[in-house]
Amino acid sequence: MLNQTIGKIKPLDQDAMDAVQDRQNNLTKPAGSLGRLEEVSIQLAGIFRDPMPKIKNKVIITMAGDHGVATAGVSAYPQEVTSQMVLNFLKGGAAINALAGHVGARITVVDMGVAFEFEPHPDLVDKKIAKGTQNMLEGPAMTREQAEAAVMAGIQVVTVEIEKGLDIVGTGDMGIGNTTSSAVIAAVLTGEHPSKIAGRGTGVDDEGFARKINAIDTALSINKPDPKDGLDILAKVGGFEIGGLIGVILGAAAYNKAVMVDGFTSTAAAMIAVSMAPEVKSYLISAHRSQEYGHQLMLEWLGLDPIIDLNFRLGEGTGAALGISIAEAACKVLSEMATFAEAGVSSKEE
């Protein structure tokens, strides 16, 4: 299933993109004057294979999982916050609930590996691989089989959402300790020293930040992830929710759907997805620049320029929700503005 999904990811439709570029050049404005909105509309046309792209069905997939490394004091919050926040998502009380509602997106909450047994809930998708990963400071976070199962679970989740109706998917995460895991992933793939990648995550103090840097160094030296093998990276230093997001990204691209990438942890997942299937990069839109220290380096590695910068460092899919709103605006500008000829306005050439 994984290889079949990767095999379906094709280059964007150049004819559709050329048609949008031509229309943008003839809308009643100076060419290029709407900047990123124009660029996003062109990219969406290539993804959807449609010279008049539209966004109607918007979904945020927020995946949750616990990390064994949380026991090393790398977070300002205790591990049980992961399960408590999942329950908050289901009650509608989190930031992502407010922002998803604001942009008209539905939320899919997925238990990929929370160290808690939830009661069955109609709005919670159960894809639990295990009750949290192992402590990557003592060895691999998971087995390779678990890593592949997590990615495949993500593909399954997004496929179900596509069947319900999905044009664009925003990636979201919840997991105490996952910025440490994400920083290790980024260090592996960029080759940068952990001190240039790691941030303060949930807001750890100086001592906690020092523990975090040390934990990243230790995880790298003990596990030696192979930067040329995405599943090896995920298995050794990743998280179940990160694996699920990798699957969401790959699955969405395979079905010609756009992916709005949230912040630090979502970007780490995107990096592994691109390492596994380079063509997937064309389907990614970076929603925002996280306040996490190394996020810019990660974006540069991916070759992505974020749409907004609001000093976010929350996750959940919050930045992705706002990014989806901008992508929708890009489509509306393309379809609802008149051309010079349609409006009877003299163009520059005239």
**Average pLDDT score over residue span 162-169:** 98
Whether the pLDDT of residue 350 is over 60: the answer is no
The string of pLDDT tens digits covering residues 234-267 is 999 999 999 999 999 999 999 999 999 999 999 9
Q: At 38, which amino acid appears?
A: E
From 38, 161, 292, 316, the catalytic residue: 316
**Distance, CA of 95 to CA of 332 (rounded, Å):** 26
The confidence score (pLDDT) of residue 199 equals 83
Confirm or reject CATH 3.30.70.100 for domain 58-327, answering yes or no: no
The confidence score (pLDDT) of residue 236 equals 98
- For the segment(s) 2-53+334-343, the CATH number from 1.10.1610.10, 3.40.1030.10, 1.10.630.10, 3.10.520.10 is 1.10.1610.10
pLDDT confidence bin for 349, thresholds 50/70/90: low
Domain map of the chain by residue range? 2-53+334-343, 58-327
Quote the tokens at residue 344: 């009877």
The confidence score (pLDDT) of residue 198 equals 87
DSSP run (H or E) holding 42: helix 35-48
For this structure, is 300 an active site residue? no
**Average pLDDT score over residue span 294-323:** 97
Query: Residue 138 in 3-state DSSP?
Result: coil
Contacts of 97-103 with C-beta under 8 Å, sequence gap 24+, read: 99/317, 99/318, 99/321, 99/322, 100/60, 100/317, 100/321, 102/321, 102/325, 103/58, 103/321, 103/322, 103/324, 103/325, 103/328
Q: At 334, which amino acid appears?
A: L
**Distance, CA of 328 to CA of 48 (rounded, Å):** 13
The confidence score (pLDDT) of residue 206 equals 86
Query: Residue 60 in 3-state DSSP?
Result: strand
The string of pLDDT tens digits covering residues 179-223 is 999 999 999 999 998 888 988 877 788 887 888 899 999 999 999
> Percentage of the chain surpassing pLDDT 90?
90
207 vs 62, residue with greater confidence: 62
**Average pLDDT score over residue span 132-156:** 98
The string of pLDDT tens digits covering residues 96-127 is 999 999 999 999 999 999 999 999 999 999 99
The confidence score (pLDDT) of residue 63 equals 98
The confidence score (pLDDT) of residue 280 equals 98
73 vs 337, residue with greater confidence: 337
